[in-house]
Amino acid sequence: DIQMTQSPSSLSASVGDRVTITCRASQSISSYLNWYQQKPGKAPKLLIYAASSLQSGVPSRFSGSGSGTDFTLTISSLQPEDFATYYCQQSYSTRSAFGGGTKVEIK
């Protein structure tokens, strides 16, 4: 099975900061990589699909890049509503998997 590893597991940042989260797959997954945001007590929300496509309604400060095994989620200017946990997910194989998550906290 394909394993997904996210780093860091948590980070502290200030409003306005540029934030980068990485996700690494244990084998090539082409561009079948998705990113989700989850706030406490809420269901996850799709942000980015196919590594770099922005889901409808998601602010343009979110962007994704990468292919093969290494991927990045970037928030260009962190806003108060962006403090949350972010997960990557590979949808390359029939049996999908999520990364362990990255919690973005207020500095």
Partner 1 sequence: EVQLVQSGAEVKKPGESLKISCKGSGYSFTSYWIGWVRQMPGKGLEWMGIIYPGDSDTRYSPSFQGQVTISADKSISTAYLQWSSLKASDTAMYYCARQPMGGVGATTTPFDYWGQGTLVTVSS
- Residue 71 to residue 33: CA distance in whole angstroms: 8
Locate 63 and state its tokens. 């962007």
**Binding pattern for the stretch 46-65 against partner 1, x by CB under 8 A and - elsewhere:** x--xx----x----------
Those residues with Cβ within 8 angstroms of residue 44's Cβ, 6 or more apart along the chain or in another chain: 36, 37, 38, 87
**Binding pattern for the stretch 12-41 against partner 1, x by CB under 8 A and - elsewhere:** --------------------x-x-x-x---
Judged by the rule CB under 8 A, the positions of this chain that interact with partner 1 are: 1, 32, 34, 36, 38, 43-46, 49-50, 55, 85, 87, 89, 91-92, 94-101
